Structure formats: C-alpha cells, structure tokens
C-alpha cells in the first residue's frame, strides 16, 4: 500500500512510484495493491505515471484524495485512473473491504463535493461523507458476513490530544459502533487512511485506526521531503494479527523544530503488528 505520492506537486513522485512497483513485483502472493489517494492530477503529463500503476499484474484499488480534485472534478479524476466508482466494496480472503469517498466540505449549510480545488475555502469544515454513501455504508455493515476493513483517504478515528473527535469522523464512527452491535460478525476490524502524512496508530473504543505515511513528504510550513520512498506491505494472519512491514527513511533536511509536537511525525513507516477483530 502507498499513500500521498502527489504527482504534480512532489517533483520525484514518479521515481517513488517506481520504487513501490519494483518492490511489489519482487514479492509473491500479493492479493492487491492499494493507493490511498492524493495520487496525481488528471493531466496529460501524468498518463505515464498512471500507466505504471495500471500495469501492475494484480488487483488494484484506488482511493480518491482531496488533491486529486485540485484541477478537475471527481468524474474526470476517476476517468483518468480507470476508477469505476468513487466508493466500493470487495471481498478478499476472510475480510470485506469498504472504500470510502470523504471528499466533501460543508459551508453555509451545504455539502459540496470537492472539485477544481474548491475546498480551499474559508469558514468550511472538510472531509465529510455524503448522505447517499453513508446510507450505503450502513447497509454494507449490517449485511456483511465477514469482518470489515474500512479504507479512506481522510482519517477516521484521529482526534488531537485533549480534543473531541472531529464531527465528520464521529459521524462515521457512530455508524460503525451501532452496526457492530446489530451485526457483530460484520464488525469493523480496522480503519486505514492516509492524508495526514504521518506514521500513526490510534485505538478508538478498541478499534485500530492506522494512518499510512506519505510516500513523499511530511507537510509543515511546506514540503519536508523524505530521502526514501515510503510504502508498506500488510499481512493479516489467520489469528487476526495485522503485520505491517514498513520502510525506514530520513528527512532530506531537518523539519522545523515546532513540528516536533505533531503526533506521528516521521520519515519512515514503522514495521509493527497488532491485533484486529476476527469474527468467530
């Protein structure tokens, strides 16, 4: 899995994707490749970049990120990638995966999809799910016969210290918690996200929520570039242990000292393992 490559913003995004592709092709028994959003702008100069991804000889999963709609709308971004639906469900092994589109902002009582960079606006809240998708998500959780892994670009389950859970995240977590009571067999086992450009794990009422670090850089007063392309391989064991094989790196130059307080600031993806819910 790889997150936040940022082709069109990060100058060496193509080289970083190449490193991911090479490492992936060198592995056996890969079930699917996952890019977690902020992949590229839908422009002619990114066609070769997208083709590099498309040529991977395995199932490939796209997630829409906010910057993917900096220069176009969702339909154009999806067409550029060959992505059929902005949210989806699929089964792999013993798990059901639900991929979400949280690219909406609220302003003056209206919920607006991200398009052509319109989310760069004042007096708005961001990263909301839309009602139609939320209804679909709730139905999927209630009918799933397998434990569920939720994948989104934006975070689910990440509040800042001493702060309440952001409302757009709380809305989704409430649905997850209620569905688990009605259908324990299909309870959410894990939430995966990108977006924050940090290496961070949070546990919310027993639910692991994991943020995959950016492949390219940490953001604080500008790009704080990583020396190595970051990505990870994830394995779920039959006993329900999630193993993450990460990648170590360093900052190309020291990030601003004030950024040391950012939770999960790192130029690496940590290798770690932890337990996730497994239905019996």
Q: Which residue has the tokens 């702008």?
A: 41
User: Average per-residue pLDDT in the chain?
Assistant: 97
Segment 33-54, tens digit of pLDDT: 999 999 999 999 999 999 999 9
Segment 178-220, tens digit of pLDDT: 999 999 999 999 999 999 999 999 999 999 999 999 999 999 9
Residue 278 confidence (pLDDT): 52
Hey, CA dihedral for 216, 251, 220, 163, is it positive or negative? Answer: positive
Hey, CA dihedral for 125, 130, 131, 137, is it positive or negative? Answer: negative
Domain ranges in the chain?
13-275
Mean pLDDT of 220-246: 97
Could you tell me whether strands 59-62 and 148-151 are parallel, antiparallel, or unpaired per DSSP bridges? unpaired
Q: Are 38 and 11 in contact (CB under 8 A)?
A: no
Segment 59-107, tens digit of pLDDT: 999 999 999 999 999 999 999 999 999 999 999 999 999 999 999 999 9
Query: The domain 13-275 belongs to what CATH superfamily?
Result: Metallo-dependent phosphatases (3.60.21.10)
The answer on pLDDT for 226 being more than 90 is yes
The answer on pLDDT for 280 being more than 70 is no
Helix (H) or strand (E) holding 238: none
Mean pLDDT of 245-260: 98
């Amino acid at each position: 899995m790889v997150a936040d490559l940022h082709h069109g913003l990060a100058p060496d995004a193509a080289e970083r994707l190449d490193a991911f592709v090479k490492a992936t092709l060198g592995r056996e028994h890969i079930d699917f490749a996952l890019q977690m959003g902020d992949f590229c702008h839908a422009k002619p100069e990114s066609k070769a970049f997208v083709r590099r991804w498309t040529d991977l000889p395995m199932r490939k999963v796209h997630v829409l990120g906010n910057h993917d709609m900096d220069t176009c709308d969702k339909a154009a971004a999806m067409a550029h990638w060959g992505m059929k639906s902005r949210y989806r469900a699929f089964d792999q092994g013993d798990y059901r995966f639900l991929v979400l589109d949280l690219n909406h902002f609220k302003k003056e009582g209206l919920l607006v999809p991200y398009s052509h960079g319109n989310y760069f606006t004042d007096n708005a809240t961001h990263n909301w799910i839309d009602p139609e998708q939320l209804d679909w998500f709730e139905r999927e959780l209630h009918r799933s016969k397998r434990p569920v892994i939720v994948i989104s670009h934006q975070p689910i389950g990440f509040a800042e210290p001493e702060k309440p859970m952001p409302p757009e995240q709380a809305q989704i977590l409430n649905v997850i918690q209620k569905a688990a009571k009605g259908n324990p067999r299909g309870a959410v086992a894990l939430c995966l996200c990108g977006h924050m450009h940090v290496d961070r794990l949070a546990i919310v009422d027993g639910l692991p929520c994991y943020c995959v670090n950016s492949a390219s850089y940490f953001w604080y007063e500008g790009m704080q570039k990583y020396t190595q392309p970051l990505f990870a391989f994830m394995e779920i064991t039959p006993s329900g242990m999630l193993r993450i094989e990460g990648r170590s790196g360093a900052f190309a130059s020291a990030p601003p000292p004030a950024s040391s307080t950012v939770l999960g600031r790192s130029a690496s993806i940590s290798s770690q393992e932890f337990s996730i819910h497994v239905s019996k």
